[in-house]
Structure 1
Amino acid sequence: MKRLFLSLALGVIAVAAVLVVRTVAFTSRQVAPEAGAPLVVDAEAASARLAGALRLKTVAASEGQPADDAAFDALHVYLREHFPRVHASLKREPVGRHSVLYTWEGTDMSTRPVLLMGHLDVVPVTPVTESAWVHPPFAGVVAEGHVWGRGALDDKGSVLAQLEAVEALLAAGERPRRTVLFAFGGDEEVGGQEGAVAIAALLKERGVRLESVLDEGGVIMSGTVPGVAAPVALVGTSEKGFVSVELKVKGEGGHSSMPPPSTAVGTLARAVSKLEATPMPARLAGGSRELFEWVGPEMGFGMRLLFANLWLTEPLVVKQLAAKPTTNAAVRTTTAVTVFEGGVKDNVLPSDARAVVNFRILPGDSVEGVLAHVRKTVDDSRVEVGTLAFQSEPSPVSPTHSDSWRQLERSVRQVFPQVVVSPYLNVAATDSRHFVGLSDNIYRFFPVHLQREDLARVHGQDERIAVPTYLDAVRFYAQYLRNTAF
C-alpha cells in the first residue's frame, strides 16, 4: 500500500512539475513594437470624403429587390473624383455591374501580388427604425467626433481608408516593389457571387497566385478576453462555413376534430427539438485554439497555467466556452432554427410543415458532415432533408509562421503598439472565402479599435466610426502596404 501511495505521490509531483515548467516557458509571442513611417492625412477632409460615400445608398439586390444601380454608379464616380491620384496611377477594371478591381503595378514583376479587399454594398435599414437613429442612416454626417451612417464600419470605412492610404502614398511619390491589387465587391452582403467570385475567377484565369489576402474581419477590442488588460487585435486566420438545412414534412390535412397521432407540425417540431438538443461536438482547434496560445502568455500565472497545458485542461476549457452562446460559436458548428412554418387555421390539419436550420460550420467539419448529422439525429423517414442554395465550406486555417503573417503582425504593432495581436476564428462570412486556392495566407482584419457596445452598431442602429479611429485605419493600411509591398 505504501508503494502505491508513493507511486501516486510521485506521479502527482511529476505532473505538477510538467505543468509549472510548461507555464514558465509559455512566454509572450508579441513582436517588439517599432515606430512606423509618418503619414500625412487631413483629418477633416478624409472624414468628409467618407461621409460623402455613406450618403450613397448602395444596398445590394436581395429577396427579389433589385440593387439601386444609380447609387452604385454614383459611388464609382464619387471615388474617381475624390481620389484623383489613385485613378491616375492605378489600373481600374470594372467587374460585373457594381464591383471593381484596381491594380497598382510594382517594379518587381517576379514577386507575387498582395490583395487588399473590401465591399461597397451595405445592408438595408428597416424603415420603421430610421427615425430612431441619432442621425439619418444615409445622411453621411460628421458630428460629435464621429462619421455617422450605414457602412461606416461595414464596410465603406475600410474601402475608403485603403484609398486614402494609397492616395497619401502616391502624394509622397512612393511606388511599390510588389504589385498590389484592391478588390472591392458590390454584393458581399448577399454572397458575393457577382463581385468577389467574379474577381477571383478573373485572377485565376490570368494565372495569378497571390502572396497574401487581407479582408475585413476581426477588429481591436478592449475587455474581450478575460485576464488580458491590453486591447486585443483579433486577426481572423479562418472563417466558419455556412449551410441552411431545410426540413419538410407532408401531412394528410383534413379537419382537426379527427387528428392523427402526430400532425406534420408535430413531427417537424420533434425533429427540430432533437437537433437543438443534440448539437455537433465541440472542440478547440484552428484559430480558436491559437487565440489562447497567443493571448494566454499575457495573462496572470493561474490562467497561463491553464492555457499552457491544454494537453490536460482542454476538456475544461471547451466545457466553459460551450456554456455561453458568444464563445460556443468558437468551438463548435452551431445550430440555429431560424424558420418554422406550418398550418393555416386553428381547426385545419396542416398538409405540410417546413423549418430552416442554419449551421455555421467549424473548420474541420463540412456541409456533408452537417447533413449526415441532421439525418442521424432526426432519424425519421417522414422528414425530408435538403439545403437552401447558398452554402460554403469553412475556410482552411492560414498560417501564423509565414512572412505574410509576420508583416501583418508587425504593421499592427507599429500603428497600435499597446495592443496584443492574436489569431482567431472569424464566425461570420467574408468575401475572402472566395479566394481560397489563390493564396495560403488569407487574413481577416479591419484595423479599428472598438468598444463592446460598438459591435451592435454593425448591421444595427447608429452605425458610426470615430474620426481618430478612422485615421488610425488609414495609417495602418499605409504601413501594411509599406511592409508587404515596398
Structure 2
Amino acid sequence: MKKVCKGLGTVLVLLVAIVVIRASGSAQLDAPKAPAPLSVQPSESAERLGKAISFRTISHQDLSQVDTGQLTGFHQFLRESFPLTYAKLTVEMVSEYGLVYRWQGSDATRSPILLIAHMDVVPVDPGTEKAWTHPPFAGEVADGFVWGRGTLDFKQGVMGIHEATEALLAEGFVPKRTVYIGLGFDEEVGGVLGAKRIAAHFAALGLKFDFVLDEGLAVTKGMMPGIDSPVALIGIAEKGYLSVELLVEQDGGHSSMPEKETAVGILAGAISRLETTQMAAAIDGPAREFFDTIAPYMPFGQRLALRNLWLLEKPLTWKLTQKPATNALIRTTTAPTMLEGSVKENVLASRARAVVNFRIRPGDTVQSVLEHVHAVVDDARVKVNPGEGAADPSPMSPSDCWQFDLIEQTIREIYPDAVVAPSLMLGMSDARHYAPVSEHLYRFAPMMFTDQDRGRVHGINERIATGEYAKVPHFYAQLIRNSSLD
C-alpha cells in the first residue's frame, strides 16, 4: 500500500509540475515599426464623415421602402469628395446601388485584395430621437466626437477607405497588387442584393482574392479581464443564424373554464425546455485559437487554466458558460425573442406563438439545431417552423498564414500597445457572401471599442471620437502599403 501511495504521490507531483510549467512564462509585446505618414487632415476628414452621416441610407428588407435618393445622393457625395479616387480608379455600379472600385496594381502576377464595407445603416427607433445628444442624422462634430447613425456601423469604414485611397493617390503611390473595394447597400438586412451580387459579379469575372477584409470585430479596451492592454480581435469566422417559430393551436374559450393544459402553457413548457437544455458548448475552432493566443498575456491563474485545457477543459467550459459574452463564444445560443397569445386577459388563446433565435457556432449547423429543437421540445402539439434567412456558420479562415500576419502587423503599427488575436464574430456580416472568391475572409474594424460603446451600435448616441476616427484612414492606407511589400 505504501508503494501504491508513493507512486500516486509521484504521479501527482509530476502532474502539478507539468501544469505549472505549461503556464509559466508570460509574453511581452515587441515594438512595431511606425506607420508611414499620411496627408489626411483629421478635422477635415471628421467633417466629411459628418456629412456622410447626414445621408439617411437606411436599409429595409423590401427595396421599395428604401429611399434610393439618399443612396444616389451619397454616391454623388463620394464622387465630389474624392476626385482623385474617381478619376484614377475604375468605378462601376453593381446591382443597382452597390459600388465596385478597381485600383490597378503594377504586378499582374499577384492576386488582388478586396476591402469591403457597407453604406447602409439601421433605422433609429421611433420615439427615441429626443434622447440623442445630437440629432441622429445631423452628422454633427462636437465635444471631440462625430455623432450620428453609422459612425460606428459602418460609414467610418466607407469613408476611411476613401480617405486612404485619396491620400495615397495624392502621393503618387501605386500598389503592386490590384486593390478592389466593394461597397454594399443592404448589409443590415442580409446583404442579398448588395454584397451577394457583388461577390457573384467577381466570381463571373474569375477573380480570386488573396484576402477579403470586412468590418466586424475591433480593438477592445477594458473588456478582457486580466489584460490591461487593448486587445484587437480579427474575426476568422462568423456564427450562423436561425429563427424558429413555435406554434401551438387549440380551441380557445373563456378563462373561467380552462383546459388542463392551455396553448400558452404548452408553449411556455417548450420554451422552458429549450432554455434549460442548451446545445453543447465546446472550446474549439475560433474560440480555441482566441484563448491560445491571449493566454500568454493573462495573469498566472487564468494562464494556468488556458494552457492546460487537456486537463481543465470541462471545468473551464462550464465557467465560460456562466457569462453571456463568453457563453456566446463557445456555444450555439438560444434566445426566445417574440411571444404572442390571447388578445384579451380573460380569453384563452387559440393560437400561441413564439420565436426563438439561435446564433450557431462553428461545428453546429442549421440542420443540427433543428434536430435539437425537435428532440428537446418533443411535443407533437408544438409545431416547429424554421424561419427565413437561415444560414450555417461561415467557413473558418486560417490564422497561420501571411494574410492574417499582414493584417496583424498593420493593426500593431496603428495600435502599438494592442494584443492581436483571432476570434469569432457573433453576428453576421457581408464577408460570408465572399466565400466563393476567397479562402481568407477576415473581419476587423479599425476602432477602439469600450464596453460603453457596445450599446451605441444600433442604439442611442452612436458616435466615434475624432481622434479614433483619424486612425481609420491610416489603417487602410498602411494595409494597402503593406500588401505591396515583398
Q: TM-score, normalised by structure 2?
A: 0.97
Deviates more, 1:162-171 or 1:39-48: 39-48
Aligned to 1:187: 186
Q: Unpaired segments of 5 or more residues in structure 1?
A: none
Name the counterpart of 1:483: 482
Q: CA deviation at 1:288?
A: 1.5
1:56 is the counterpart of 2:55: yes
Q: Which residue of 1 aligns with 2:375?
A: 376
Q: Which moved more, 1:120-129 or 1:433-442?
A: 433-442
Q: After the TM superposition, which of the residue ranges 258-267 and 359-368 deviates more from structure 2?
A: 258-267
What is the 5 A alignment of 1:10-409?
A: 10-24=10-24, 28=27, 32-62=31-61, 66-409=65-408
How far the C-alpha of 1:115 sits from its partner, in A, is 0.8
Provide closer, same or farther for how the CA distance between residues 39 and 64 of structure 1 changes in structure 2, counting only shifts above 3 A: closer
SS of the counterpart of 1:329?
Answer: helix
Contact 1:30-1:421 within 8 A present in 2 as well: no
Q: 1:70-108: per-residue Cα shift (whole Å, max 9, x none)? A: 111100000000011111111111122322111111122
Per the TM alignment, residue 27 of structure 1 is displaced from its structure 2 partner at its CA by 5.6
What do you get for the CA RMSD once the two structures are aligned? Answer: 1.6
What residue number does 1:9 align with? 9
- Aligned residues of 1:115 and 1:210 also touching (Cα < 8 A): yes
**Residues 262-313 of structure 1, C-alpha deviations (whole Å, 9 max, x = no match):** 2222211111111111111111112222122111101233322221111112
Q: Tell me which amino acid in the other structure corresponds to 1:333.
A: T
The reply to whether residue 474 of structure 1 matches residue 485 of structure 2 is no
Counterpart contact for 1:116–1:182, Cα < 8 Å: yes
In 2, the alpha carbon distance for the partners of 1:348 and 1:320 equals 44
Q: Does the CA-based 8 Å contact 1:177-1:485 persist in structure 2? A: yes
Separation in 1 of the partners of 2:255 and 2:63? 36
CA distance in 2, matches of 1:167, 1:250: 60
AA in 1 matched with 2:229: A
CA contact (8 A) 1:54 1:156 kept: yes
Asked if the contact 2:253–2:348 (Cα under 8 Å) also holds between the matched residues in 1, the reply is yes
Q: Distance in 1 between matches of 2:342 and 2:297?
A: 55
What does 1:442-453 align with in structure 2 at a 5 Å threshold?
A: 442-453=441-452
Distance 1:450 1:244 in 2: 29
Of residues 449-458 and 66-75 in structure 1, the stretch that sits farther from structure 2 once superposed is 449-458
Q: Deviations over 1:317-361 (max 9, x none)?
A: 211110011221111100000111122233433222211100000
Tell me the matched-pair count. Answer: 485
* Equivalence for 1:416: 415
Q: Which residue of structure 1 aligns with residue 435 of structure 2?
A: 436
CA 1:207–1:31: 2 relative to 1, 3 Å = farther
- 2:412 & 2:346 partners in 1: Cα distance? 66
Are the equivalent residues in 1 in contact too, given 2:118–2:154 (CA < 8 A)?
Answer: yes
- Distance in 2, matches of 1:78 and 1:200, equals 25
Quick one: which amino acid aligns to residue 415 of structure 2? F
Distance 2:192 2:30 in 1: 38
Residue type at the aligned position of 1:366: T
Query: Per-residue displacement from partner, 1:54-76 (whole Å, max 9, x unpaired)?
Result: 00101012479701111111000
Quote the Cα distance in structure 1 between the aligned partners of 2:383 and 2:62.
Answer: 24
2:199 touches 2:436 (CA, 8 Å); kept in 1?
Answer: no
> Following TM superposition, by how much is the alpha carbon of 1:29 offset from its aligned partner in structure 2, in angstroms?
8.7
Q: 1:364 to 1:31 in 2, by over 3 A?
A: farther
Other structure's SS at 1:344 match? coil
Q: 1:424-469: CA deviations, max 9, x gaps?
A: 1110111101112321211111011122211211111111111110
Question: How far apart, in 1, do the equivalents of 2:30 and 2:454 lie?
Answer: 28
Match of 2:21, as an amino acid? Answer: V
Structure 2 residue matching 1:390: 3-state secondary structure: coil
Give, in whole Å, the separation in 2 of the partners of 1:353 and 1:4.
63
Is residue 23–residue 309 contact of structure 1 (8 Å, CA) maintained in 2? yes
**2-structure distance, mates of 1:130, 1:98:** 28
Distance in 2 separating the partners of 1:253 and 1:147: 54
Q: Is the 8 A contact 1:282 1:333 kept in 2?
A: yes
Identity %: 46
Partner Cα distance (2:99, 2:64) in 1: 22
Q: How many angstroms does 1:31 deviate by?
A: 6.0
**2:448 and 2:344 mapped to 1: Cα distance?**
51
Amino acid at match of 1:78: F
Q: Is the 8 A contact 1:280 1:373 kept in 2?
A: yes
Amino acid at match of 2:439: D
Residue 470 of structure 2 aligns to a residue in which SS? helix
Please identify, of 341-350 and 125-134, the stretch whose mean Cα deviation from structure 2 is larger.
Answer: 341-350
Deviation at 1:32, TM superposition (A): 4.8
CA displacement 1:346-384 (0-9 Å, x = unmatched): 343322221110000001100000000000000011111
User: Quick check: 1:180–1:485 contact (8 Å CA) kept in 2?
Assistant: no
How far did residue 406 of structure 1 move? Answer: 0.7
Work out whether residues 292 and 307 of structure 1, in 8 Å CA contact, stay in contact via their aligned partners in 2: yes
Conserved? CA contact 2:248–2:263, under 8 Å: yes
Give the AA of the match of 1:139.
Answer: A
Deviation at 1:131, TM superposition (A): 0.8
Identify the range of structure 1 (403-412 vs 323-332) with the bigger mean alpha-carbon deviation.
323-332
Further displaced range: 159-168 or 315-324: 315-324
For residues 29 and 95 of structure 1, the distance between their equivalents in structure 2, rounded to whole angstroms, comes to: 46
TM-score (norm 1): 0.97
Query: Partner amino acid for 2:14?
Result: A
C-alpha separation in 2, matches of 1:85 and 1:276? 55
